């Protein structure tokens, strides 16, 4: 039963808006990666607030990864990152000065000005 609860909370770690899904597809195409490559969303130590978000592409999930799917994009989240990402929404925003992925994380107690690091 504990494994089911853990898997459920990990599986709900992160969601993507339709804009984010389309942006991931465009980046994957631009980088010449096949559709089989999944988006890995992780949290690493560092940044001005203590933790940073990291996005990368991965060919295969690790044995303990949560594997999510959003409109043709597989998303991989490792258990260590899932505890910080639970409830996070990833969006893609654009403005006159450029665009990028925006993380709305309810577990973040503080974020930095750049928006790519946070404290939990």
**For the whole model, what pTM was predicted?**
0.80
Rounded to whole angstroms, how far apart are CA atoms 87 and 15? Answer: 7
* pLDDT at res. 17: 95
Which domain CATH number covers 84? 2.60.300.12
Rounded to whole angstroms, how far apart are CA atoms 45 and 69? Answer: 26
* pLDDT at res. 91: 93
Q: How many domains does the structure of the chain reveal?
A: 1
Q: Where are the alpha helices (DSSP H) in 35-77?
A: none
Q: Which domain holds residue 75?
A: 2-119
pLDDT tens per residue, range 15-68: 999 999 999 999 999 999 999 999 999 988 876 657 888 999 999 999 999 999
* pLDDT at res. 94: 87
- For residue 101, give the 3-state DSSP assignment: strand
């Amino acid at each position: 039963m504990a494994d089911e609860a853990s898997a459920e909370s990990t599986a709900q770690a992160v969601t993507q808006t339709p804009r984010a899904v389309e942006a991931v597809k465009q980046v994957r195409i631009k980088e010449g990666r096949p559709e089989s490559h999944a988006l890995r969303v992780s949290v690493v130590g560092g940044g001005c607030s203590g933790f940073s978000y990291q996005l990368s592409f991965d060919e295969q999930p690790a044995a303990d990864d949560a594997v999510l799917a959003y409109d043709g994009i597989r998303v991989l989240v490792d258990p260590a990152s899932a505890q910080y990402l639970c409830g996070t929404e990833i969006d893609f925003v654009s403005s006159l000065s450029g665009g990028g992925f925006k993380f709305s994380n309810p577990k973040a107690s503080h974020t930095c000005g750049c928006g790519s690091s946070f404290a939990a």
